[in-house]
């Protein structure tokens, strides 16, 4: 990978746009995919197609039930509150405006033979991940582990489906991690789940055609906070002599933090004003005394981490300047803290972009997209053949008319 200097960039608006894995099942899945990639295909018998359709329907029903049950559990916990109810209504209108895109992505998510849904990485609820495979996995491919956002409450692995599908078209395997959300779990559960998921993928991805020596990590919003906490906790473990670890931060080639919050002390009052009330937020974060423990901006300054900072992956923090859910100053301060601690960090501010523009509206818009192109360029930086293919790759299709995207940006609760 090209050397990363500590720098800051500001981009003007015009420049951005449930199946358990066993040794046998992993081998069978990989051999089947490899077999098809080499042109040895055959027609599925009618019974097999019926079984596949039945499994898809059962999966949709199970996932819908899970989300609905968690939503009602959360509503009972939240009680009555004007701010969060108004935000929920805005979220509903926002989703309706983007529904043409969501339906297209959902169809590809459930119908594609290159998506492995709800693979198991642990024994806790929500210890699942979705795997997006390129059409051709004749040789080991780079891997991106993605940790979705969702205010620590509504995160779900399928939120990364558009990113996974589009990166898979560029020859990149994407693993979208699920983890326990509140009230199923609190922040330590989320970080532990994420760390366990990263470990499992690093140690097993070769069975799916992935290259364990080219693994990248990305987190968005709350997922950026959780994944950065997981990285720093792993770094702390590695700094303790004799500590047994199942993966190492040196195995992560780069970390992408998108629209994240990294100092919880600065965000408590901000979230309270936006409907994530202080009482609930402190319950998620296990009390006021834990806010510093789970604040990467503060934790990176701990003396015990000095010895592992040289092994920390290059960090790319991307944030929109019009982000009102988590102000862009959160990424600015974390970038400064990383650089002062000796880590390689780059801050990229996108003028006029909101909390969801970079992750939703821009990808649904199709065409060129700064975040997507930037990530692909970094992941393919040492692969000249892949870089050449990227140059001639077809433009990504538009999913939603521009007028609906602009209306969604105006009504977005984020």
Looking up tokens 């601690």, which residue turns up? Answer: 341
* Count of positions (residues) in the chain: 414
Identify which has the larger pLDDT, 317 or 382. Answer: 317
Contact 171, 185 (CB under 8 A): no
Q: Between 20 and 96, whose confidence is greater?
A: 96
Residue 381 bears catalytic tag: no
- Respond yes or no: is residue 355 known to be catalytic: yes
357-403 per-position pLDDT tens digit: 999 999 999 888 888 999 999 999 989 999 999 998 888 899 999 99
pLDDT band at 141 (very low <50, low <70, confident <90, very high): very high
Give per-residue pLDDT as tens, 174-229: 999 999 999 889 999 999 999 999 999 999 999 999 999 999 999 999 999 999 99
The predicted structure's pLDDT at residue 4: 56
Catalytic residue among 323, 357, 362, 369: 323
What are the backbone dihedrals phi and psi of residue 119, each rounded to the nearest 5 degrees, phi first?
A: -75, 150
**24 labelled catalytic:** no
Q: Which of 225, 319, 355, 380 is catalytic?
A: 355
Tell me which of 221, 259, 331, 409 is the catalytic residue: 221
Query: Are the C-beta atoms of 17 and 362 separated by less than 8 Å?
Result: yes
Three-state secondary structure call for residue 375: helix
The ranges assigned to domains in the chain are: 7-39+47-411
* Tokens matching residue 302: 């701990």
pLDDT tens for 275-315 read 788 988 999 999 999 999 999 999 998 888 888 887 889 99
39 to each of 109, 114, 139, 163, how far by Cα in Å?
A: 23, 15, 14, 27
Q: What span, in angstroms and rounded, lies between the C-alpha atoms of 376 and 191?
A: 26
Structure tokens at 40: 């040895």
Q: What is the CA radius of gyration of the chain?
A: 21
CATH superfamily, with its number, for domain 7-39+47-411: Alpha/Beta hydrolase fold, catalytic domain (3.40.50.1820)
């Amino acid at each position: 990978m090209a050397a990363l200097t500590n720098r800051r960039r500001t981009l003007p608006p015009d420049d951005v746009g449930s199946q358990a894995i066993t040794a046998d099942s992993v081998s069978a899945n990989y051999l089947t995919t490899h077999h098809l990639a080499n042109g040895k295909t055959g027609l599925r018998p009618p019974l097999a197609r019926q079984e596949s359709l039945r499994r898809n329907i059962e999966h949709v029903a199970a996932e819908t039930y899970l989300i609905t049950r968690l939503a009602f559990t959360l509503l009972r916990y939240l009680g009555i509150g004007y701010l969060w109810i108004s935000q929920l209504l805005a979220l509903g209108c926002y989703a309706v405006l983007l529904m043409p895109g969501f339906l297209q992505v959902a169809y590809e998510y459930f119908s594609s033979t290159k998506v492995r849904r709800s693979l198991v990485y642990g024994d806790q609820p929500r210890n699942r991940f979705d795997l997006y495979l390129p059409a051709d996995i004749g040789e080991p491919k780079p891997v991106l582990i993605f940790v979705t956002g969702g205010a620590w409450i509504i995160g779900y692995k399928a939120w990364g489906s558009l990113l996974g599908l589009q990166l898979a078209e560029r020859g990149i395997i994407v693993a979208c991690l699920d983890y326990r959300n509140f009230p199923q779990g609190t922040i330590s559960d989320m970080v532990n789940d994420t760390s366990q998921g990263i470990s499992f993928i690093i140690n097993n991805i070769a069975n799916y055609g992935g290259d364990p020596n080219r693994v990248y990590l990305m987190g968005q919003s709350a997922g950026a906070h959780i994944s950065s906490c997981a990285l720093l906790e792993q770094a702390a473990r590695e700094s303790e002599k004799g500590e047994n670890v199942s993966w190492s931060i040196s195995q992560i080639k780069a970390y992408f933090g998108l629209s994240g919050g990294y100092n919880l002390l600065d965000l408590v009052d901000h979230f309270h004003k936006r409907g994530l009330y202080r009482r609930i937020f402190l319950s998620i974060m296990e009390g006021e005394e834990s806010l510093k423990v789970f604040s990467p901006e503060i934790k990176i300054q701990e003396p015990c981490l000095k010895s592992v900072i040289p092994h920390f992956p290059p960090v790319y923090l991307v944030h929109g300047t019009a982000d009102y859910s988590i102000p862009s100053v959160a990424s600015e301060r974390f970038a400064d803290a990383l650089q002062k601690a000796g880590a390689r960090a780059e801050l990229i501010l996108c003028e006029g972009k909101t909390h969801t523009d970079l992750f939703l509206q821009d990808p649904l818009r199709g065409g060129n997209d700064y975040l997507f192109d930037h990530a692909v360029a970094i992941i393919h930086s040492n692969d000249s053949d892949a870089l050449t293919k990227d140059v001639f790759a077809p433009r990504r299709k538009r999913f939603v008319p521009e007028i609906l995207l602009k209306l969604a940006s105006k009504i977005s609760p984020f």
